[in-house]
Amino acid sequence: MADRGDPRAAARAPGRVSGSRRSLAGVWPAAVAGALAAGVAIAASELVAGLAQGAPSLVAAIGSLVISLQPPGAKDLVVNLFGTNDKLALNVLVVVAAVIVAALAGILAARRRWLGVVAFAAFGLLAGAAALRDPLASQALAVGNAAVAVIAGLVALLGLLGLASTAAARGGTDDPEAAFRSPEWTRRRFLIASAGTLGGVIVAGGVGRSLIDMHHADAVVSSSKIPAPLLAVPPLAVDQALAVPGITPLVIPNGDFYKIDTALLAPRVDPATWKLDVTGMIAHPLTFTYDELLAMPLYEQYVTIACVSNKVGDHLVGNALWTGVRLKDVLESAGVQPGATQIVGRSVDGFTVGFPTAWAMAPEREPMIAVGMNRQPLPTNHGFPARLIVPGLYGYVSATKWLSEIQLTTREAVDGYWVPLGWAKDAPILTQSRIDVPTDGATVRSGVVDIAGVAWAPDRGVTRVEVRIDNGPWQAARISRPISTATWVQWTLAWTTTPGAHNLEVRATDSSGDVQTDQLSDPAPDGARGHHRILVMVA
Ligand SMILES: Nc1nc2c(c(=O)[nH]1)N[C@H]1C(S)=C(S)[C@@H](COP(=O)(O)O)O[C@H]1N2
Ligand SMILES: [Mo]
């Protein structure tokens, strides 16, 4: 065993050493070749998607397919899915799954090359089929990109397997001379080729992804400008906002506004070719181009929208100044038939919402086809070129982004996207309130401390906010003068502290006198209930 460190000894020795190396040489390089080939296929397709307008990302297409395969009732699985992190996780999952399957395919292909060809062709068919489902992608480019991926992957697979099998064959020889001459070198060639491939995958994939992200970035489409509304709202008065450091602003800037949707990549809609159709149970079907929509009398209003997935105390809620066309005006010119009890909003990517016609037509609220957000054209992430904003309803039943169709139908005929997945069909926003300052777990100085936050009950309006400390008596907080019943309010209470740990709790009351319940419920199926409570330390 004195010669253990000598590679020549290892190569020469019969039995265990060379045997284990041989099986190692058989399985691992083949698996590595397969995994790298998957990387090449994916990187090539991401690069094509990044470079060619209308070429779909295969990773995103397969991710969307996975999303669309959610079983009915998978509501717990999908609570808060579609936050940015979950989308990243889904992309990573798709890539990791592809790499693992391809590693196995590599092992099979080491024995029989045609098995590798079959595996990569199957991947190409799956990815191509998934990409063809994307209504925004060019069909030819979807198929073409899948073909590019398969060919690039196979070239890498067969090339690397060729190197790996030379290495294995030479490594397995009993001829000491040949073994001394070759295995280290061929192994090294395989390793160099693998490392080079990996480097290429990282660069090509990285460039492709960055280009894709750039194309779908939350940019305001530069050519579009929204005209000033005929009816502009006055600027907010001084007493409409509270000046407590750290409090959530009354109006959330576009870049900070929460974003929730099922789109793995925000649809990039061309306003020059986009159309909005009004269809179904109406007297006169209507179609609007973007310019036609902008030429109509525009209206603006503050509306607080909220996501049904928002947990008590969380931030999937926001208030913005929306500019748009009155939905009622559009429906009146379309002539809604009496039996049309539901309005369905459909997006360019096939997402749907549904809400009662009666809710939209009620005199006390003004649903709109919004084209502007805080006096900017809608950002891509928030639905450019147009979206629905319906005061008082959770986003998943009302706030269709990238709107393409408004269909009048019956309540029974259509379920919106989330309804078969276990979420309520009727979904008014529940009364909620949140403590923003101090933050949960914070240590505050002794003395008088401002407790502050926001409370919402669109579109009933918040009339009262109360705070209690350590389950003591409820104390009325000061609230900002409401902008409208459709918007949230800020609230604050000056608290004279005592040392130690304290529980802070908030509740709101809406204009009908209903006090926010303290009975906790999950977000599914119709929104989270319960009071926001936090714990703070007074130093
Ligand atoms: N096209 C489309 N519109 C959509 C969604 C979607 O997945 N696709 N999600 C809805 C949900 S669940 C919510 S809460 C709101 C969020 O709007 P925001 O991202 O502008 O905040 O958009 C709604 N509109
Ligand atoms: Mo939502």
Q: What is the CATH number of the domain that holds 466?
A: 2.60.40.650
Q: Tell me what pLDDT residue 298 has.
A: 94
The per-residue pLDDT for range 408-447, each reduced to its tens digit, is: 999 999 999 999 888 999 999 999 999 999 999 999 999 9
In 3-state terms, what secondary structure has residue 87?
helix
In a domain, 221, yes or no: no
Tell me the β-bridge partners of 490: 454
Q: Tell me what pLDDT residue 21 has.
A: 44
Q: Tell me what pLDDT residue 19 has.
A: 40
Mean pLDDT (whole number) for 460-483: 97
Given CA atoms 223, 228, 232, 234 in this order, what sign does their dihedral have? positive
Closest CA to 69 of 128, 130, 21: 130
Tell me the β-bridge partners of 428: 393
| Ligand 1 pocket residue status of 395, Cβ below 6 Å | yes
Closest CA to 309 of 352, 357, 262: 262
- Residue whose tokens read 């698996």: 31
Nearest ligand to the CA of 305 is 1
The residue among 421, 441, 456 that closes a domain is: 421
| Ligand 1 pocket residue status of 402, Cβ below 6 Å | yes
Q: Tell me what pLDDT residue 214 has.
A: 86
Number of alpha helices (DSSP H) and beta strands (DSSP E) in the chain: 12, 19
- The rounded distance, in Å, linking the Cα atoms of 439 and 536 is 8
**Does 143 lie in the same domain as 111?**
yes
* Residues, Cβ < 5 Å to ion ligand 2: 260, 307, 395-396
**Does 442 lie in the same domain as 393?**
no
| Ligand 1 pocket residue status of 264, Cβ below 6 Å | no
- Which residue puts its alpha carbon closest to atom 16 of ligand 1? 260
Q: Tell me what pLDDT residue 313 has.
A: 97
**Does 189 lie in the same domain as 84?**
yes
Host H or E run for residue 78 = helix 75-78
How many structural domains comprise the chain? 3
In a domain, 8, yes or no: no
**Does 411 lie in the same domain as 436?**
no
**Does 170 lie in the same domain as 58?**
yes
Pocket test of ligand 1: the residue of 381, 396, 404 to mutate, having most ligand atoms within 8 Å of its CB, is 396
The residue among 182, 215, 248 that closes a domain is: 215
The proportion of the chain whose per-residue pLDDT surpasses 90, expressed as a percent, equals 73
173 C-alpha to center of ligand 2: Å?
A: 64
**To the nearest 10°, the Cα dihedral for 507, 509, 515, 518?**
-20
**Does 146 lie in the same domain as 37?**
yes
Mean pLDDT (whole number) for 369-385: 95
**Does 289 lie in the same domain as 206?**
no
Mean pLDDT (whole number) for 160-172: 73
Does pLDDT of 243 surpass 60?
yes
- Residue whose tokens read 């099922």: 262
Ligand 1 atom showing the smallest separation from residue 382 Cα: 20
Mean pLDDT (whole number) for 349-371: 96
Nearest ligand to the CA of 401 is 1
309 C-alpha to center of ligand 2: Å?
A: 6
In a domain, 1, yes or no: no
Mean pLDDT value across the chain: 89
| Ligand 1 pocket residue status of 474, Cβ below 6 Å | no
In a domain, 229, yes or no: no
Burial code (b: 16+ CB inside 10 Å, e: under 16) for 59-90 equals bbbbbbbebeebeeeebeebbebbeeeebeeb
- pTM metric for this prediction: 0.86
Q: Tell me what pLDDT residue 14 has.
A: 36
With bands split at pLDDT 50, 70 and 90, how would you rate the model's confidence at 11? very low
Q: Tell me what pLDDT residue 291 has.
A: 94
In a domain, 228, yes or no: no
Q: Tell me what pLDDT residue 74 has.
A: 55
The per-residue pLDDT for range 19-42, each reduced to its tens digit, is: 444 444 568 899 999 999 999 999
The residue among 421, 454, 477 that closes a domain is: 421
Does pLDDT of 192 surpass 50?
yes
**Does 318 lie in the same domain as 245?**
yes
Given CA atoms 371, 372, 377, 380 in this order, what sign does their dihedral have? negative
**Does 444 lie in the same domain as 340?**
no
The proportion of the chain whose per-residue pLDDT surpasses 70, expressed as a percent, equals 88
Given CA atoms 159, 160, 163, 168 in this order, what sign does their dihedral have? negative
Mean pLDDT (whole number) for 109-116: 93
The per-residue pLDDT for range 260-295, each reduced to its tens digit, is: 988 888 898 999 999 999 999 999 999 999 999 999
Does pLDDT of 79 surpass 50?
no
**Does 176 lie in the same domain as 27?**
yes
Host H or E run for residue 533 = strand 532-538
397 C-alpha to center of ligand 2: Å?
A: 8
**Does 464 lie in the same domain as 417?**
no
Its domain, for residue 32, covers 14-215
In a domain, 232, yes or no: no
List for the chain the helix, strand, coil content (%; round to 5).
40, 20, 40
Question: In terms of C-beta density within 10 A (0-12 exposed, 13-18 middle, 19 or more buried), how is residue 215 classed?
Answer: middle
301: which residues sit within 8 A by CB, 6+ positions away? 233, 321, 322, 366, 368, 484, 486
**To the nearest 10°, the Cα dihedral for 259, 264, 270, 271?**
-30
**Does 484 lie in the same domain as 340?**
no
Does pLDDT of 4 surpass 60?
no
In a domain, 492, yes or no: yes
The per-residue pLDDT for range 440-455, each reduced to its tens digit, is: 999 999 999 999 999 9
316 C-alpha to center of ligand 2: Å?
A: 8
Q: Tell me what pLDDT residue 73 has.
A: 55
63 C-alpha to center of ligand 2: Å?
A: 19
- The rounded distance, in Å, linking the Cα atoms of 376 and 228 is 10
